[in-house]
Amino acid sequence: MAKIEAKPWLAHYDPGVPAEIEVPHKPLWRFLEESAERFPGNVALEFLGKTLTYAELWDKSRRFAGGLKALGVRPGDRVAIMLPNSPQFVIAFYGALLAGGVGVNVNPLYTPRELRHQLVDSGSETLIILDHLLPRFLEVERETPVKRTVVTGIKDFLPFPKNLLYPLKARKDKLPLGFPKKEGFHAFADLLKGEPATPHPADPEDLALLQYTGGTTGISKGAMLTHRNLVANVLQIDAWDASARELLGKGVMLGALPFFHVYGMTVAMNYGLFSGYKIVLLPRPEIRAIVEAIERHGVTHFPGVPTLYVAFNNFPGVEGKNVKSVRICLSGAAPLPVEVAKRFEEITGARLIEGYGLSEASPVTHSNPVLGEVKKGSIGMPLPSIEAKVVDEEGKEVPLGEVGELAVRGPNVMKGYWNRPEETAKALKDGWLLTGDLARMDEDGYFYIVDRKKDMIIAGGYNIYPREVEEVLYAHPAVQEAAVVGVPDPYRGETVAAFVVLKEEHRGKVGKEDLVAFCRENLAAYKVPRILEFRESLPKTSVGKILRRELRDEFTRGKG
């Protein structure tokens, strides 16, 4: 029986990585202030040719805070931000914190119904939104508590002459610009015209962010993340890479992951600003723009998700591109297929390590080491100051190597769910966060996610974990993407269905029978997909996580 006190993972930490970190008593916005003091002339943000230095970003964030306060934003007020990656997102989030507010990340892809739920649930009286997205809000405006709407456009932070040409392109594409000239609506640029505000001296235990979980498991809930939670996770990530000190003030972070997702916010934005890096902002994670950004800016850090690395590996002519500047990539949000990591490392020479996290933990809890052994298929070890264990249905630790639910504890774990005490009580037990993921731990303290509790397939009494079947499919040279789900079966209860996207050059040449035969060679008979469908693409969240539930529902409807 592996006891938590043993922490076997500590023996496998890289040299220089501490077992614990000290979480300083300060609000998150201090990271930006400190980088502005240390690297005032360094470029903080690069956006489609426009740059902002650290000194400029700190000044604009404080001015924006002053503008919010002048509009009536008070400490503790929720400020919803519905923006793509852009200078405005960074200024809005840090400006909200500097005014004493609580950021509420809103997915720009949300429908009016989803937007209304989040604004009502969070009680947000302030919304900062892109002009293109405004029609969705106007549909539900009267059903929300929003009193003040701050509107910005992509052109607001474009360099000359792009700022003049952009409105012409937007009109051609029939994208809405501007905003209604009525009470309660304000231009983002106007909030930057006043005096810089004195930063609100937030207590580290104060809320900094309401991060809504994706809603794929039911109704979307707001994870309450404090300043201390977010500060701790940045410092845990920093401590994990002992060699990162050499890049302080010199690194280049790719800001392709959306910042409205806590993974992008913590790993790309907050950690990038803490480290004094130049953050190259991409409003959309498009693979051509990513490859071009790596070449043009000498990107050193490329945090992403498996689907981005799959797209990178399959980008035409990528082997001939100048992509060797990439030093380290952390993959999260979904399982990283072994073959994808191997190919990416061959092309770039970089280290691609799989990690793990969830919104409720700010989000990163585990990672493979930067220098030490990367165990393929493993999410690695708990980061400094994080404890982890695998428990059974009663919450008792299971014997080493057995499968149970992953539980984590540390300074990065949320306070609870916003206004949902019952849900909080289910998720938090004596300070431990029950993740809902099935996992096992090996003798070295490396953890392996076997699957989501709800994604496990039970076919004919056998437990089948979709990830294992997906790993086999990804090992086939013709497969670009794969997702495996359980679908109803009158005889087995459930059966295994695989949805596959083939690489361009193999389409029409590789058939379903070829993949099924390959699975038979590599899997026990009961795990082999009984149903296999080719697709042009797979449904994904805005972060690039494949939506298994959507595939399952779509298949079931088609058979109904």
CATH number of the domain encompassing residue 372: 3.40.50.12780
**DSSP 3-state of 165:** helix
**DSSP 3-state of 423:** helix
Amino acid 232: pLDDT: 98
Residue entry with tokens 């207590």: 203
Residues 269 and 189 in one domain: no
Average pLDDT of span 378-392? 96
Does 212 score more than 70 pLDDT?
yes
Q: What percent of the chain has pLDDT over 90?
A: 74
Residues 357 and 474 in one domain: no
Over residues 313-368, the pLDDT tens digits come to: 999 999 999 999 999 999 987 778 888 899 999 999 999 999 999 999 999 999 99
Over residues 62-92, the pLDDT tens digits come to: 999 999 999 999 999 999 999 999 999 999 9
Lowest mean pLDDT across 216-220, 370-374, 541-545? 216-220
Domain for residue 207, yes or no? no
Domain for residue 114, yes or no? yes
Residues 300 and 446 in one domain: yes
Over residues 289-303, the pLDDT tens digits come to: 999 999 999 999 999
Domain span holding position 475: 456-559
Assigned token pair, 514: 């070829």
Q: How many domains are contained in the chain?
A: 3
The CATH number covering residue 519 comes to 3.30.300.30
Residues 399 and 479 in one domain: no
Does 5 score more than 60 pLDDT?
no
Amino acid 559: pLDDT: 66
Domain for residue 124, yes or no? yes
Over residues 414-425, the pLDDT tens digits come to: 999 999 999 999
Domain for residue 220, yes or no? no
Amino acid 461: pLDDT: 66
Does 140 score more than 80 pLDDT?
yes
Q: Which of 349, 350, 302 is nearest to 330 (CA)?
A: 302
Asked if the peptide bond before residue 84 counts as cis, ω within 30 degrees of 0, the response is no
Q: Which of 395, 420, 452 is the last residue of a domain?
A: 452
Does 180 score more than 80 pLDDT?
no
Q: Which of 202, 236, 255 is the last residue of a domain?
A: 202
pTM for the model: 0.84
Residues 252 and 308 in one domain: yes
Residues 476 and 531 in one domain: yes
Residues 360 and 419 in one domain: yes
Lowest mean pLDDT across 118-127, 132-141, 485-494, 523-532? 485-494
Residues 545 and 416 in one domain: no
Residues 178 and 149 in one domain: yes
Over residues 246-291, the pLDDT tens digits come to: 899 999 999 999 999 999 999 999 999 999 999 999 998 899 999 9
Q: Which of 396, 417, 452 is the last residue of a domain?
A: 452
Amino acid 155: pLDDT: 86
Residues 271 and 139 in one domain: no
Average pLDDT of span 509-516? 95
Amino acid 219: pLDDT: 66
Does 394 score more than 70 pLDDT?
yes
DSSP label of 546: B
Residues 65 and 107 in one domain: yes
Pairing of strands 387-391, 364-367: unpaired
Bridge partner list, 366: 356, 382
Question: For residue 531, how many other CB atoms are within 10 A of its CB?
Answer: 17
Domain for residue 44, yes or no? no
pLDDT band at residue 217 under the 50/70/90 scheme: very low
Lowest mean pLDDT across 36-40, 144-148, 217-221, 237-241? 217-221
- 4 vs 388 pLDDT, higher one: 388
Over residues 517-559, the pLDDT tens digits come to: 999 888 878 889 999 999 999 998 887 888 888 898 888 887 6
Average pLDDT of span 382-401? 95
pLDDT band at residue 214 under the 50/70/90 scheme: low
Amino acid 316: pLDDT: 93
Amino acid 2: pLDDT: 40
Q: How many angstroms separate the CA atoms of 45 and 277, rounded?
A: 9
Domain for residue 221, yes or no? no
Average pLDDT, the chain: 91
Assigned token pair, 357: 């996290």
Over residues 436-445, the pLDDT tens digits come to: 899 999 999 9
The CA–CA distances, whole Å, from 346 to 300, 316, 324, 343, 390 equal 16, 15, 10, 5, 34
Q: How many angstroms separate the CA atoms of 340 and 380, rounded?
A: 17
210 and 229 Cβ atoms separated by less than 8 Å = no
Helix H, strand E, coil C: the string for 307-353 is: HHHHHHHCCCCHHHCCCCCCCEEEECCCCCCHHHHHHHHHHHCCEEE
Residues 344 and 437 in one domain: yes
Q: How many angstroms separate the CA atoms of 215 and 222, rounded?
A: 10
Domain for residue 391, yes or no? yes
The CATH number covering residue 117 comes to 3.40.50.980
Domain for residue 38, yes or no? no
Pairing of strands 185-187, 148-152: parallel
77 and 102 Cβ atoms separated by less than 8 Å = yes
